[in-house]
Amino acid sequence: MNIRRVALAAGAFALGVGMLTGCGLTPKTAATPSPSAPAAADSSPTASAAGFPSVCDMFTDADMSALTQGTIASHKPDGKSTPAAPACDWLSADGGITVTASLRTTTKSDFDSSADGYTPVSGVGDKATELHGILTVFHAPTTEIGIIFGGGGDPDVAIQKAIALKIIEKLDGGASPSPSASASASASE
DSSP string, 121-184: E-SSSSEEEEETTEEEEEETTTEEEEEE-TTSSHHHHHHHHHHHHHHHHHHHHSSS--TTTTS-
How many CA atoms lie within 13 Å of 110's alpha carbon, on the beta-carbon side?
14
| CB distance 35 to 62 below 8 Å | no
| CB distance 128 to 112 below 8 Å | no
Is residue 166 situated within a structural domain? Answer: yes
Is residue 89 situated within a structural domain? Answer: yes
Is residue 101 situated within a structural domain? Answer: yes
Q: How many domains does the chain have?
A: 1
Is residue 94 situated within a structural domain? Answer: yes
Report d(CA 140, CA 183) in Å as an integer. 6
Instruction: Determine the pLDDT at residue 151.
Output: 61
Instruction: Determine the pLDDT at residue 163.
Output: 97
Is residue 45 situated within a structural domain? Answer: no
Instruction: Determine the pLDDT at residue 95.
Output: 82
In this structure, what are the phi and psi dihedrals at residue 68, rounded to the nearest 5 degrees? -90, -10
CA distances 104 to 26, 38, 63, 73, 96, Å, are 30, 24, 22, 26, 27
Instruction: Determine the pLDDT at residue 185.
Output: 33
Report d(CA 113, CA 160) in Å as an integer. 22
Instruction: Determine the pLDDT at residue 152.
Output: 64
Q: Which domain holds residue 155?
A: 3-22+55-183
Instruction: Determine the pLDDT at residue 174.
Output: 60
Report d(CA 82, CA 151) in Å as an integer. 26
- From first to last of its 189 residues, the chain has per-residue pLDDT tens of 444 444 444 444 443 333 333 333 222 223 333 333 333 333 344 444 457 899 999 999 999 999 998 899 999 999 999 999 999 999 998 888 899 999 999 999 999 999 888 999 999 999 999 998 899 999 999 999 999 998 666 789 999 999 999 999 999 986 433 333 333 333 333
- In this prediction the pTM is 0.67
Is residue 31 situated within a structural domain? Answer: no
Report d(CA 172, CA 145) in Å as an integer. 13
Compute how many other C-beta atoms are within 10 angstroms of the C-beta atom of residue 39: 18
Is residue 90 situated within a structural domain? Answer: yes
Is residue 32 situated within a structural domain? Answer: no
Compute how many other C-beta atoms are within 10 angstroms of the C-beta atom of residue 37: 5
CATH number at residue 16: 3.40.1000
